[in-house]
Amino acid sequence: MLMDYSQKQENSLFDLSLSLAFKKFINSLTEAKDSKSENYKLTIKFFEVIIDFCNKQFSELNNEFSGADAFSIFTSALNNMDIKVETIDDVLEEAEKYRNYLISFKREGTLEPGEMDELIKLLEEINNQLKLKLESNQMNSWGY
Amino acid sequence: MIISKKEYLNNLLDSFCKYEEKLNILSNKAYPSDIVKKFIEKDLKMIIFEFEEIVHKDLKSSNDHFSEKTVLVNYIWDQGPLQNIAKAVANTDFKSHPLEIMNVFRDLIKDIEKNDFEILTIPREEMNFSFSEIWFKLKRILEKELNMSGFTVNKKFIKLTFPKNHKNNLLLSGIFFHEIGHYLVEENNFADRIFQNIDFSSADFLSLRKYIYANNGNQLGQVELVNIFKRYYLINWIKELLSDILAVYTVGPAFIFSMFNLVINSTNVNNFQNDNLINNCSVSHPRFSFRFNLMSKALKELKIYNELPEPLRDKIKSYQDAYANSNNQQSNRSGNIRINNIYYRIQESKFLFQQLEKIINNLIPDMLAESEQLLGERNIINKDKLNQAEKLAQQRIKEVIPPNELYNTAADPIAIINSGWYTKLLYKSSLKKRVGKIEGKNGDYDLNLLINDLMKYSLRTSRIQRRWQD
């Protein structure tokens, strides 16, 4: 029936936590040194839950942020980078590409310059989307 | 900059000091549980001291920029979880605690979640029920991002609000089970799990693009549709329907009768008389006819629908029919939403809603199966509990005896809650005759009061009795 939406507000605390992890990970990438493993783990997990979502397997970052949430943030970030993704298969392809970048980075400690720029730009866009999500306070209007 | 960093931080400190004062006042109050007092005096005070410390440090720094910690503290403060906790604590008290029903919820949640928790009950003037966790997420971020430790309360704090006037109305308690359903759905990310089972490549799903116009003029793609319905309509409907299923699975027909009672009380008399019951879909809720159908389907799934006495089955059928045959027409409305800086216009119509219902219908088997799994067999209503409810009504409440036991065995709390409705719907006139004086100007008010008193007493004593038996 009627529901108190205060819980939603507290859920956004995880968005903040995720955004901070991305920020720290971007710093590590930019300074070309290994990230703290928890930030790396959370960043790679972010792409894995998207891949799971596309493959119709349910997974989540924690019980507040699911593959569908990550999918939504990721596709918005891609859109801002003018990367056109229309179908779920397109998204899967992109998510796998970035996941592979992260794995290579972890293994080799560096990436090709083009790949590194691409990855940093995407992570920054994701972080922007998370910030937008944090800031948006039901800005949608309903004109009945 | 309009104001200096120093001014900004001083304002922030001012808010923290006011909060601290509020905590001092709150720590002098009496609470239903000692843990609440400890929570205020230790944990909340520790947090606000730490926040003050961070801001003080930043005030002393010569850097023009705010420190990372200040930004974080400021963000958390703006989001309001601390204020939300203080507000909940301030509004909870001894007198308003509906102890009997609270124990039923406590046992239920404990069994499902296996976690320790505290319930803060908050009476409200308005007809509103809600159930949400208010502490754990904050605690997690404070530990992770601000390295805070040493919290004394390591359990969930669940805020439960309920209409003040219905504190003792156990006949309406079925609604609480729907709200607990919302809580379980949120805590387990249950709705997303179901949402993911939608076939996003199906013609049914892709046809939804007919009702949505992107203001940038582009044809909508599959990805955009997923993102829209992950936030509007489908996801919300899934949450409502899951909460309905969880309520039916735990408390059975008592939820359906409570819900109908609540809905009918808020129906305008003209609409009521003219078979014009409001049966509209909205961005947040599916229509009542769909919900009542699902509820009866859930009862059938549990194989208890046919076990109900005929008048009760007829009653449930009459609710379904009343809404299914309502003359009230869904109006064609349109609304704007914004996702990812693109504005979309959604044209609502009965065709859109029929399409959404078709998609949801395909998810119902998963919703039923996963609800069963989440609750576990022990917490799901069954034939035995309903048979007990019927006997409690017939042999106890009808004779003005509290329904706390049957054949010297403590009654099941779910059976007790249902027995109230069984009595009201099956034995109303016999009970009135038995009591004699309940006749006249107050209508059913005195009768409801009597049933509620008997139920309340029984929930309390049967719990004690169960402990002895165990």
**Chain A within 8 Å of B178 (Cβ-Cβ)?**
yes
pLDDT (0 to 100) of residue B441? 64
User: What DSSP character marks residue A87?
Assistant: S
Q: Give yes or no for residue A144 having a pLDDT over 50.
A: no
Q: Do A63 and B189 touch (CB under 8 A)?
A: yes
Q: What is the ipTM of this complex?
A: 0.82
Phi, psi of A105 (to 5 degrees): -60, -45
Question: Distance, in angstroms, between A1 CA and closest chain B CA?
Answer: 7
Q: What pLDDT, on a 0 to 100 scale, did the predictor assign at position B276? A: 77
Nearest to B192 among A20, A68, A129 (CB): A68
- Beta pairing partners, B410: B405
In this complex, is the C-beta atom of B345 within 8 Å of any C-beta atom belonging to chain A? Answer: no
Tell which of A1, A17, A27 to mutate to test the B interface (max B CBs under 10 Å): A1
CB-CB under 8 Å, B81 with A13: yes
Nearest by CB to residue A72, choosing from B197, B230, B341, is B230
Give per-residue pLDDT as tens, B305-327: 999 999 999 999 998 898 888 88
B223 contacts chain A (CB < 8 A): yes
Per-residue confidence (pLDDT) for residue A34, from 0 to 100: 52
**CB-based burial label for A133 (10 Å; 0-12, 13-18, 19+):** middle
Cα(B41)–Cα(B350) distance, rounded to whole angstroms? 54
Q: Report how far residue B432's alpha carbon sits from residue B437's, in angstroms, rounded to the nearest whole number.
A: 8
Per residue in B7-37, pLDDT (tens digit) is 999 999 999 999 999 999 999 988 877 888 9
Encoded amino acid at B381, one letter: I
| Structural contact between residues A35 and A29, judged by C-beta atoms closer than 8 angstroms | yes
- B144 vs A: CB within 8 A: yes
What does the pLDDT read at residue A35?
A: 56
Please tell me which of the candidates A13, A66, A142 has its beta carbon nearest to residue B137.
A13
Average pLDDT over all residues of chain A: 80
Backbone angles phi, psi at A54, to 5 degrees: -65, -30
Model confidence pLDDT, tens digit, residues B59-117:
999 888 899 899 899 989 988 889 989 999 998 866 767 778 888 988 898 899 877 88
Distance CA(B234)–CA(B280), nearest Å, equals: 15
B267 neighbourhood in chain A, CB within 8 Å: none
A137 touches chain B (CB under 8 A): no
pLDDT at B439: 62
Adjacent-strand bridge partners of B158 = B119, B133
Across the interface, whether the CB atoms of A4 and B137 are under 8 A apart is answered no
Q: Contacts of residue B222 in chain A, CB cutoff 8 Å?
A: 86-88
Q: Is B323 in contact with B289 (CB distance < 8 Å)? A: yes
How many Cβ contacts (< 8 angstroms) between chains A and B?
Answer: 137
Cα(B289)–Cα(B327) distance, rounded to whole angstroms?
12
Please write the tens of the pLDDT for every residue from A74-124.
999 998 899 989 999 999 999 999 999 999 988 888 888 899 899 999 999
Q: Are the Cβ atoms of A64 and B137 closer than 8 angstroms?
A: yes
Q: What share of chain A is helix, strand, coil (3-state, %, to 5)?
A: 70, 5, 25
Q: Are B220 and B271 in contact (CB under 8 A)?
A: no
Q: Domain coordinates of chain B in residue numbers? A: 5-164, 190-378, 383-469
Banded model confidence at residue A141, pLDDT cuts 50, 70, 90: very low
The first and second tokens of residue B191, run together, are: 């709705």
Any A CB within 8 A of B84 CB: yes
Scan residues 48-107 of A and list those with Cβ closer than 8 Å to B: 53, 56, 58, 60, 63-64, 66-69, 71-72, 75-76, 79-80, 85-88, 90-91
For residue B442, the model assigns a pLDDT of 67
Do B227 and A142 make contact, defined as CB atoms within 8 angstroms? Answer: no
Q: Residue B420 has what pLDDT?
A: 97
Q: How far is B466 from chain A (nearest CA, A)?
A: 32
Distance from CA of B213 to the nearest CA of A (A): 15
Which portions of chain B are predicted below pLDDT 70? Answer: 1, 93-94, 96, 274, 437-443
pLDDT of residue A33: 55
Distance from CA of B19 to the nearest CA of A (A): 19
CA distance A125 to A81: 8
Residue B187: the pLDDT is 87
Q: How is residue B356 written in tokens? A: 């959404």
CA–CA separation, B442 vs B449, rounded Å?
Answer: 11
Residue B233 makes CB contacts below 8 A (sequence gap 6+) with B283, B356
Residue B338's pLDDT is 80
